[in-house]
Structure 1
């Protein structure tokens, strides 16, 4: 049967065919469902396809298998989420003078808002890397470590599933309003040795918004037969993620009231209150810490002068150090046309996880080119999706190194130098402001080594073909780490690497990056405090 199925798929795309055939033949996919619910199928009259049970676009391997089943087992004529059906639905709605956000649900099911518990929205994804090398091969990067961009797709997809479980039986348009943070607690160096479980639930609700907390665990043991919050150990957590989703009516485009969250124990109440406090603090920072409206602090003004002095000294050198680069010279760009294969399966918009993956890959290119190494992901800072990205639009991505910091530089006494830039007897240029970050909280952690924290800002803009305007979609802030000393991560000679801004606008970007580094350090400390 698999041979016949492969022949059918091969008529579409050879590369995709081999991938899907490998997935379909996997023992894991025949035996274990990816999500904690009954699997749906377009030809099964007893199955009910709803937003809580169907995988979103690009849950990296699960969706591939889902599309594989639809292609080889069903005609596809009655599958309402195909793009051709979506185009037909849009044409029909426009003829009636309507513009809808969702082509799957043309109206909202009416029901009263009810209380739901955290357990009601709990869901998980299992990535059996240790048990199935075929799955691991889709998630490995060039260094043999976990490819984070692939994982980000799954995180966003799982968050969407959790959101729909909480809002059920109502099926609104769920939109990713923001990614509040994704933070790596400890690296997963050899993915072939672990099975990974992504799990999460709604921890806070407002009238139409909800915060979803997801943790990623790396298990060296077998996958538990029963997976819930009580059966999972916090010792296995290697990554945390937090998303904010909002519910909208696809007809009126207005916010839609969602079910309330009812915490049942002390821990759930603490998580609820912490989320509430974070949202309030986030709003206050947006108002009071905006450098477009308010000038830098006194200390930051001194730093800007030091940056200006350092940039002048660096520009005057005939031979510039290879590891100290002007900010403008770190810039890399990418432009992509948004195709329907990467859409949300119920709307005309591009899946948020796909955008995260693409911006991460560009940020990784920027960090790798800048440091001449294989950088390690540390954090994705808070980001807000200002404008959705429609299918059929052009996405412009612009990545730049906006901030660097030398971690544990004091362990190398000869590296100490003036903060405004200095040239030694050998014509070597030195510059590094006083470090602000204290990310290394664990002994023998990869951040406990001397090295450089590299912060990349990826600005995204959307160009719709029907308009000449190019709108800002959002800014993705990724932090990476590269060690100072020679190891397996380096392709060229090791050492600290430094970015130097020249213009005032670049210096403001640098100051904002420094503030974000402080926020990341505070977040890391809070995680340690909460775990004690």
Structure 2
């Protein structure tokens, strides 16, 4: 349960700019994105200095409600959070963190901010009247899935104007919550939505590491009801896609024909054998479109629960994918159009070695589909585990990109997975 937290507002010069742009006027609850993270630390009761022992909230297990019907219903507006990234003030050093060498916005930083904002939204939603105002939440809210992030191709963010993030819980299961969030910026005197994101979080009891029960959601307005129905549809879609995964079922008839045609396009028909492979004009073998990086997971990148912060993993995966796309096209991406279906299979422990492998798996027109696979090597336990898969769609601004061509059957499956993500 959240206790009221007083927020300092922005300096008067920023408030004036905000009023001119038509947002955040006289809002005492407006936070900076840094204050969002500070609030999460306060709610969870995390030590600011790193310790090896995992942070757990104890002594409140008997007050946890296991029957969802006994918890009060919450409106989507109860979880609403709005925050600002103050980039317009030239006197602060925030801009340096968000601006690229090409004077554009660092999209990877926004992925980190989305993850922090979604965490605060989840804590805002959950209310247990049995807990006192000074008691910390018994729950850890962990990112289970980034369902989809879409960026408008016609509206690019500026690193010289303030960025507004907002969002709320729009769908609830028994222990899971879907957060819908937006990034907005003033364009031509009007506050415009530029990016929309949907994250799925899961509640876990900090003391026992078992699934928790979250408050039911009571959507009020037509828009809230529509978003709730969309959440239900997304759940069904995820279940359907899981059963139709190429790891479980063979490709469809149309997909088999696509793979066969691709294979024939790489065979020297004059040789009379399937063994002689040739690369068609304006194509790249998929095996030649791979870039990798190895990271040491340090305490600096920890989250509230002494694991590696999911937003950091997304930023690292995105930046590797961006570099791979740039090398493939010999040109910097115009923008990342879509991020979708980022599944967090396992937490990444501090001290692990994290291997990120980026591969161009599908191309169409000026677009690149890139898959990034993450695995960790735990030196103490001597095990290697898959932790994440990331999918990015880049608009390269080039009308006739070289086509990526699979050579092996496993690469053909990656090609089909990339095609499915691109067309979803």
Q: TM-score range by the shorter chain?
A: 0.7 to 0.9
Counterparts of 1:269-288 in structure 2, within 5 Å, are 269-287=225-243
The partner residue of 2:419 within 510, 514, 524 is: 514
Counterparts of 1:4-15 in structure 2, within 5 Å, are none
> Cα gap change, 1:379/1:348 in structure 2, threshold over 3 Å: closer, same or farther?
same
The partner residue of 2:145 within 156, 165, 178 is: 178
> Cα gap change, 1:257/1:50 in structure 2, threshold over 3 Å: closer, same or farther?
farther
Cα distance in 1 for partners of 2:97, 2:255 equals 44
The partner residue of 2:371 within 457, 469, 494 is: 457
Partner in structure 2 of residue 401 of structure 1: 360
TM-superposition CA deviations, 1:59-96 (whole Å, max 9, x none): xxxxxxxxxxxxxxxxxxx983311xx32xx2xxxxxx
Is residue 2:241 matched to residue 1:255?
A: no
Unpaired runs of 5+ residues, structure 2, are 1-9, 19-23, 66-70, 129-136, 270-275
Counterparts of 1:412-423 in structure 2, within 5 Å, are none
The partner residue of 2:170 within 199, 203, 207 is: 203
Is residue 2:205 matched to residue 1:219?
A: no
Contact kept, 8 Å, 2:363 with 2:401, in 1: the verdict is: no
Shift of 1:512: 1.4
SS at match of 2:166: strand
Cα distance in 1 for partners of 2:383, 2:359 equals 23
Cα distance in 2 for partners of 1:196, 1:325 equals 38
Counterparts of 1:337-348 in structure 2, within 5 Å, are 337-345=296-304, 347-348=305-306
Point out the more displaced range, 182-191 or 251-260: 182-191
TM-superposition CA deviations, 1:331-386 (whole Å, max 9, x none): 111111111111113x1211110000000011111111111001121111112110
Cα distance in 2 for partners of 1:395, 1:382 equals 20
Cα distance in 1 for partners of 2:268, 2:220 equals 61
Counterparts of 1:47-126 in structure 2, within 5 Å, are 53-54=39-40, 80-83=47-50, 86-87=51-52, 90=53, 102-103=54-55, 105-108=57-60, 110=63, 112=65, 113-126=71-84
Is residue 2:389 matched to residue 1:484?
A: no
Contact kept, 8 Å, 2:348 with 2:387, in 1: the verdict is: yes
> Cα gap change, 1:316/1:280 in structure 2, threshold over 3 Å: closer, same or farther?
closer
Cα distance in 1 for partners of 2:37, 2:157 equals 34
SS at match of 1:260: coil
Contact kept, 8 Å, 1:136 with 1:191, in 2: the verdict is: no
Cα distance in 2 for partners of 1:245, 1:177 equals 5
Shift of 1:118: 1.1
Is residue 2:304 matched to residue 1:304?
A: no
The partner residue of 1:500 within 393, 400, 405 is: 405
> Cα gap change, 1:282/1:393 in structure 2, threshold over 3 Å: closer, same or farther?
same
TM-score where L is the length of structure 2: 0.82
> Cα gap change, 1:107/1:500 in structure 2, threshold over 3 Å: closer, same or farther?
farther
> Cα gap change, 1:190/1:359 in structure 2, threshold over 3 Å: closer, same or farther?
closer
Cα distance in 2 for partners of 1:303, 1:264 equals 46
Point out the more displaced range, 184-193 or 298-307: 184-193
Contact kept, 8 Å, 1:395 with 1:460, in 2: the verdict is: yes
TM-score where L is the length of structure 1: 0.66
Shift of 1:312: 2.9
Count how many residue pairs are aligned between Structure 1 and Structure 2. Answer: 382
Cα distance in 2 for partners of 1:51, 1:372 equals 37
Partner in structure 2 of residue 142 of structure 1: 101
Cα distance in 1 for partners of 2:390, 2:200 equals 15
Partner in structure 2 of residue 365 of structure 1: 323
Is residue 2:289 matched to residue 1:330?
A: yes
Partner in structure 1 of residue 68 of structure 2: none
SS at match of 1:116: coil
> Cα gap change, 1:303/1:244 in structure 2, threshold over 3 Å: closer, same or farther?
same
Cα distance in 2 for partners of 1:161, 1:143 equals 32
Shift of 1:38: 8.2
Shift of 1:50: 11
Shift of 1:255: 0.4
Give 1 or 2: higher strand fraction.
2
Partner in structure 2 of residue 295 of structure 1: 250
Shift of 1:472: 0.5
Shift of 1:126: 0.8
SS at match of 2:266: helix
Structure with bigger gyration radius: 1
Contact kept, 8 Å, 1:28 with 1:132, in 2: the verdict is: no
> Cα gap change, 1:390/1:168 in structure 2, threshold over 3 Å: closer, same or farther?
farther
Shift of 1:193: 5.2
Shift of 1:316: 5.6
Contact kept, 8 Å, 1:400 with 1:456, in 2: the verdict is: yes
Partner in structure 2 of residue 409 of structure 1: none
> Cα gap change, 1:137/1:514 in structure 2, threshold over 3 Å: closer, same or farther?
same
Contact kept, 8 Å, 1:186 with 1:239, in 2: the verdict is: no
Cα distance in 2 for partners of 1:336, 1:356 equals 13
Is residue 2:112 matched to residue 1:153?
A: yes
SS at match of 2:374: strand
